[in-house]
């Protein structure tokens, strides 16, 4: 990168080809795009944005549902990409005030480990599937957008069979397919591209993040001849004009070229291995980085609802109810703080904790991180249980206090000879349930316990009398 900065500085890429960009393009065509790509365009915008912009006029009068995507998907913050994802935390008015959502968004089946076993979660049947059946020959679907792992949506692994069927059906109906591999590409899932896991190829694929080894920002979009030719015309206005000043910048292309070669070389990456396949003589893979027995043990933990471990990614979802679940949840905050104190700096997705290694990280180091995670998970669970027990004991003492106070009041009325008479009506006081609801409005369990005493003084006033 230092050489690139000194030798090239900054080169305006449109109509100018130079060494780092050319080398990066050749490596992409021989790697993640091998077999279906014949052009490349390095930029930060996704082709999803571009195709939506290109075909808006064609589909404007036919249907609002232009993109086939999935619930929980996220494809970036550009206007077109935001339109191609389902309503979520990212599409609210404060995040995207122009959002309308132009797509058919399906609930996909997902795969995860729970209680030591891999499980397939099937969604509820939806009438949308029948209404917008691809076999019906509808022209309402413009393109299909595929995620193998829904990263920002909570690290959900979509069922590969569902993905393969969706790709095959879409291509049968002449619907272009996009693989969004910004997160999953370049060995994140143990292979160079997710297309290898699905056994099918897209019309368009988007890559970023690990393409440069995470050192500097750069993204690339690969496309087939058919897609490329759709932007070819005599007029410049028919071309793809979604470039920017830093397209194919020298430092990014140099870092990408070095990273792509580094990850595939068994000398520099000791995790690279090969596997014989019926279709491919030698398939390059990453060795297993996460200890299988430890992954299974974590999935058996009572505080964990699901686990996903694939390639360089390990994710777990904490058991949570109501507002404790979802992207806006702060439920995992205390666990995250514990992990930071032990040297693991992670950013949770609500109640989902995930850990990612590099493609060159040793399995021994990954095992060490999982052991730390399991230890802190135990401490987190014990803390939650102790807090719950403390509140339960407080409630029990409250119950005994109320019972004793009522008993004393009945004894007083009996001594005064009013046991057969109805007691005089007293001013209404908050019921026990109201007390608890009011107490639960505080910020933490510790404040909850300390707030009960003054509230109880209003509920039960001391009764003084003389025999």
Least confident of 20-24, 134-138, 148-152, 280-284: 134-138
Who wins on pLDDT, 316 or 14? 316
- Predicted structure pTM score: 0.73
- Which tokens hold the place of 19? 């060494």
* Percent of residues in the chain assigned helix, strand, coil, to nearest 5: 40, 15, 45
Distances (CA, A) of 28 to 22, 23, 104, 284, 459: 10, 9, 31, 16, 72
Confidence of residue 238 (pLDDT cuts 50, 70, 90): confident
Who wins on pLDDT, 206 or 458? 206
Question: What confidence tens digit (pLDDT) does each residue in 225-236 have?
Answer: 888 888 788 888
Q: What pLDDT does residue 454 have?
A: 60
Distances (CA, A) of 37 to 85, 203, 223, 224: 26, 8, 6, 5
User: Cβ contacts of residue 107 below 8 Å, gap of 6+?
Assistant: 70, 71, 123, 124, 126
The secondary structure of residue 326, as a DSSP letter, is: S
What b/e readout covers 379-407, taking b as 16+ CB neighbours within 10 angstroms?
ebbeebeebeeebeebeeebeeeeeeeee
All structural domains of the chain, each given as residue ranges with its CATH number in brackets, are 2-275 (3.40.640.10), 291-467 (3.90.1150)
Find the length of the chain.
Answer: 467
Mean pLDDT of 368-394: 75
Per the listing, tokens 């964990």 go with 304
Give how far the C-alpha of residue 369 lies from the chain's centroid of Cα atoms, to the nearest Å: 20
> How far apart (Å, rounded) are the C-alpha atoms in residues 63 and 46?
23
Query: Residue 442: CA atoms inside 13 Å, Cβ hemisphere, count?
Result: 14
Residue 118 above 80 pLDDT?
yes
Distances (CA, A) of 173 to 110, 423, 453: 25, 80, 68
Q: What pLDDT does residue 50 have?
A: 53
Distances (CA, A) of 70 to 95, 123, 198, 438: 20, 12, 17, 40
Confidence of residue 66 (pLDDT cuts 50, 70, 90): confident
Mean pLDDT of 101-121: 86
> How far apart (Å, rounded) are the C-alpha atoms in residues 344 and 328?
22
């Amino acid at each position: 990168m230092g050489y690139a900065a000194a030798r090239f500085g900054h080169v305006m890429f449109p109509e100018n080809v130079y060494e780092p960009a050319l080398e990066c393009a050749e490596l992409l065509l021989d790697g993640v795009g091998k077999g279906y790509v014949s052009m490349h365009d390095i930029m930060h915008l996704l082709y999803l944005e571009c195709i939506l912009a290109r075909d808006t006029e064609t589909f404007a009068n036919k249907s609002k549902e232009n993109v086939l995507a999935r619930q929980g998907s996220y494809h970036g913050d550009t206007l077109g990409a935001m339109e191609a994802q389902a309503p979520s935390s990212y599409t609210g008015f404060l995040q995207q005030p122009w959002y309308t959502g132009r797509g058919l968004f399906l609930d996909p089946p997902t795969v995860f480990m729970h209680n030591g076993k891999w499980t397939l979660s099937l969604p509820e049947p939806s009438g949308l599937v029948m209404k917008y059946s691809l076999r019906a020959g509808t022209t309402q679907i413009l393109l299909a957008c595929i995620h193998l792992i829904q990263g920002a949506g909570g690290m959900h692994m979509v069922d590969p069979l569902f993905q393969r069927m969706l790709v095959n059906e879409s291509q049968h109906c002449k619907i272009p397919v996009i693989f969004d591999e910004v997160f999953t590409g370049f060995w994140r899932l143990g292979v160079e591209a997710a297309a290898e896991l699905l056994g099918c190829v897209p019309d368009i694929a988007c890559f970023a993040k690990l393409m440069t080894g995470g050192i500097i920002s750069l993204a690339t979009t690969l496309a087939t001849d058919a897609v490329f030719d759709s932007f070819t015309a005599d007029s410049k206005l028919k071309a793809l004009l979604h470039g920017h000043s830093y397209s194919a910048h020298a430092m990014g292309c140099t870092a990408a070229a070095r990273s792509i070669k580094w990850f595939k070389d068994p000398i520099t990456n000791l995790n690279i291995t090969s596997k014989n396949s019926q279709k491919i003589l030698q398939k390059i893979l990453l060795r297993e980085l996460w200890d299988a027995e430890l992954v299974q043990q974590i999935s058996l933990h009572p505080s964990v609802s699901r686990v996903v471990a694939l390639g360089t990614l390990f994710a777990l979802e904490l058991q949570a109810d109501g507002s404790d679940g979802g992207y806006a949840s702060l439920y995992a905050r205390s666990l995250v703080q514990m992990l930071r104190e032990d040297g693991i700096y992670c950013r949770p997705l609500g109640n989902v904790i995930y850990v990612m290694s590099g493609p060159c990280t040793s399995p021994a180091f990954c095992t060490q991180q999982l052991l730390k995670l399991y230890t802190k998970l135990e401490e987190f669970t014990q803390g939650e249980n102790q807090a719950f027990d403390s509140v339960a004991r407080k409630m029990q003492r409250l119950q005994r206090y109320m019972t004793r106070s009522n008993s004393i009041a009945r004894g007083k009325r009996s001594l005064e000879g009013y046991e057969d008479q109805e007691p005089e009506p007293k001013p209404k006081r908050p019921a026990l349930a109201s007390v608890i609801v009011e107490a639960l409005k505080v910020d933490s369990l510790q404040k909850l316990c300390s707030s009960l005493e003054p509230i109880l003084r209003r509920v039960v006033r001391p009764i003084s009398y003389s025999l």
